[in-house]
Chains A and B, each alone.
Chain A
């Protein structure tokens, strides 16, 4: 356990981008709140305060989540490769740390530590922005940003996202680790080539699209499995604004498909593939020290 903490700390030393990117992102948003024009004042007053507040929270969180997804992908591709590229792998291997612990620490950093950092940075940004806007703007707008229950719902949403994306994208993350442990150069290219080659081979020789379907499903199928779609499961609050109808979810709870996600065959087949690929990555880390 102690060793794992040191290994995670090491990831922060090596990849300062883990905290610098969210810090810069949050900084930009806070600056925008400080000096940007606040057009919210122009919003018709009929728009429900909760819709404004919820929209604000989700927009900030979605931005952080999108940036995080891109960074984590890059991190996973780079982490095992970087040690071999600069030849420090031999230093790390001179320590009494198993390759399993090392690989798992990197996987855990990508799937848990980095998301938590972005989550905290997102929360902090949200609070600072809400405070700044409240001071600058009218009380109606300011008030819309301080719905405590919405804020709490967002915390639960983050938690749910971290847990379920970690499980759903495990095979993708583990595959990236395999490439990172294996490739001699151009990890990005190598991560794309094998699936692309297999996909085309299947198409040419068998005329089928099973693999393409599977990969597409894994990349894009997450929201469908983890969340209910909006077909009637949730209570919506509708508000008429001029000629438009604004639909606001009454609460976020109705959207979580917890039981569905954790009982889905897709979730667990993916996780099993992920575990197999992790074993591959560990074996490669054990045997491949040269670049």
Chain B
């Protein structure tokens, strides 16, 4: 089965600024991929390229199409929420549903109505009369009602309260996701989506610095917290990052000798957030 997204040496420059620097990545069907990076790392540019919203250099195939040249066709199989609350202020909820039902062959009106019914938002209201959170709910309902092969979410839950966020992610995993779909998601709240991701892509300064499944992360990386007197022995095991914590030092390793580490201190696996901080904070000299 060919990859849903296949990017080879994607480069995008804005004047002198390089937003994407020969980035390589791919995503397969049935995966939930988190695209994670600091502000200005190129996340949004990468998503824009995938969705055909921006031109780029390099090879990019999404669902077998060239996004920039074939955006219209791509949008029959892919859908996205690219930013917060981008539904226009004048649009009425019922008109929004009518419109998408009218132009999108894969839109399921019953599904959108069912999703909206849960939020209690009624049809005749305009976006400007709704709170930011409710606007996001409407947008999510419209998007999730599309039977897409690829769903791209850029900070989808910004402006939602914690209950709505958790309800959204539950619905995403339990009702929406199946093995034929692929979800690509970016968020600043990594902890919140960590347990639903199957893969992560770390992006920094326009380059992909890590492309891994979550299973791999669990087996490939480890950290050990050691007391000050054992720090030299721990450093001899070539950690890629370390930081002090509560009088001890935590050292991070890739493909470590776990038996050796166990003799130095308490070994634990890394969360995505831990790994992200460790990977992007730089290497120890």
Contact = CB atoms under 8 A, between A and B. Distances in A.
B86 A90 contact: yes
B190 interface: no
B152 to A, nearest CB: 9
A6 B99 contact: yes
Contacts of A9: 99
B157 to A, nearest CB: 17
A98 B91 CA distance: 21
A96 B100 CA distance: 10
Interface in A164-199: none
CB-based closest 5 A-B pairs:
A88-B88, A96-B75, A6-B102, A98-B72, A90-B82
Given A90-B86, A97-B72, A10 B80 contact: no
Given A2-B102, A13-B95, A97-B72, A91 B53 contact: no
A96 B86 contact: no
Interface string A264-291: 0000000000000000000000110100
Contacts of A89: 86
Contact of A90 (B53, B72, B103): B53
A94 B82 contact: yes
B86 A289 contact: no
Interface string B57-101: 000000000000001110110011111001111111001000110
Nearest to B154: A90
Given A86-B89, A87-B86, A91-B87, A96 B102 contact: no
Contact of B73 (A2, A82, A96): A96
Interface residues of B, number: 31
A96 B72 contact: yes
16 contacts: A2-B102, A5-B102, A6-B99, A6-B102, A10-B99, A86-B88, A88-B87, A88-B88, A89-B86, A90-B82, A90-B83, A91-B87, A94-B51, A96-B103, A97-B103, A287-B55
A96 B104 CA distance: 6
A9 B101 CA distance: 13
Given A14-B88, A88-B88, A287-B55, A93 B103 contact: no
A87 B83 contact: yes
Contacts of B102: 2-3, 5-6
Contacts of A90: 53, 80, 82-83, 86
A5 B91 CA distance: 17
Given A14-B88, A96-B103, 15 more contacts: A2-B102, A2-B103, A9-B99, A86-B89, A88-B91, A90-B53, A90-B82, A90-B83, A91-B87, A95-B75, A95-B100, A96-B72, A286-B71, A287-B55, A289-B54
Contact of A93 (B53, B89, B100): B53
Given A6-B102, A96-B76, A96-B105, A91 B86 contact: yes
